[in-house]
Structure 1
Amino acid sequence: MTEIPEGAGDERVDAVLAGLERLSGLPVGEHAAVYDDAYAGLEETLAAMDEQ
């Protein structure tokens, strides 16, 4: 697995990316749900940034 960067420079993005750490303890068949959660979290974060 590729290492997750230490930080993206935004606490909200970092919090979403930290959720990817769950992948190492899950069977591969459950990875898609984790990626879906991360994608949704990033979309939400970007939308909030646009509103500012």
Structure 2
Amino acid sequence: MTDLLEETGDERADAALGGLARLGALPVSAHADVFEEVLTGLEQALASVDDAPDRHP
């Protein structure tokens, strides 16, 4: 798990992916819950892109 990107350039995505750091301290049986949380955070970050004003008129 040390090959993860340190930053994506998007604060929301970085915050969501930061949850993966918890995997090493958790039993494998708890990993699915962490993956669900990370996926939800990434989906929210992606959905908010649609709400952002256009940067290229």
TM-score after normalising by structure 2 = 0.82
Runs of at least 5 residues in structure 1 that lack an aligned partner in the other structure: none
User: Which structure has greater helix proportion?
Assistant: 1
Which of these two proteins has the greater Rg computed from alpha carbons? 2
CA RMSD of aligned residues (A): 1.1
Equivalence for 1:28: 28
- Structure 1 runs of 4+ aligned residues shifted over 2 Å read none
TM-score after normalising by structure 1 = 0.89
% identity of equivalent residues? 50
Aligned length: 52
Equivalence for 1:18: 18
Runs of at least 5 residues in structure 2 that lack an aligned partner in the other structure: 53-57
Give how far 1:31 is off. 0.2
